[in-house]
Amino acid sequence: MTFAAPARALVRAVPASYVRCLRQGGGPVDPGLARAQVEAYARALEACGVAVERLATDEACPDACFVEDVAVVLDPGLAVATRPGAPSRRAEVAPVAAALRRRVADVRPLAPEDDGATLDGGDVLRAGAALLVGLSARTNRAGAAALARHAAPRGLEVVAVPVPEGLHLKSALTLVAPGLAVALAGAPGADLLRARGVRVLETDEPHGANVLALGPVVLVSAAAPRTRALLAREPGVEPRALDVSALHAGDGALTCLSLRVPPPGAWCA
């Protein structure tokens, strides 16, 4: 399979209950601004040729807009519905899985409810035939092992990566292109990527390590201007700044705002 921009993406609107979203800081959040920023994000994807499906939100799910956490799309024909580590987020899974089934032929549950497996999509980073899975406060070894059982028949290897701090693996490390990633200094998983031939650019900006590759265009948080300048020096990379400040306030970032489905014969970030 080749690396490509996503063919389509699922985006979920921000509920008014976003004021109660899970977050490590205690600062205020603005649902109205967050809603506008998610819509601007959806338009940015569409400008890059991605077909965006906007899903209705659910006031009972304050974190519903962070849709990446509730499923992992392994390839154009297979997705795995996750079991989020935060119990309050598990009601988000069924409606998103139902929406995915209209676009992906096979959408499977992660594992039986009673085996204790937890997995957030924000902890899963694909790099070629490898799936780096962060072992974080939200994802455990049983969750990584359950994902591996679905991934192995597709020729994908799951590599567990301890995440001692931060919310998710992709809070500190994301892919820019097949051979290029961006990371915070000392990010978990960065050395594993280097060992696989991926060049890792380091950023000192807290919101700079989570970027979204859409082919040559790479979305970068407007809160990370130095990261954008760093990526602009890379041949074939077109960084575009996007304001997602109201999503950062809820511990969100660019990748977690969509579930991306690659075109046939390809994989995407």
> Which residues are identified as catalytic?
168, 256
Contacts of 194 (CB under 8 A, 6+ apart): 200
Residues 72, 79 contacting (CB under 8 angstroms): yes
- Only one residue has tokens 């980073």, namely 125
Nearest-CA neighbor of 62 among 35, 24, 33, 89?
89
Distance CA 102, CA 88 (A): 25
**Pair of tokens at residue 154:** 């597709």
Residues 213, 175 contacting (CB under 8 angstroms): yes
Cα–chain center distance at 181: 14
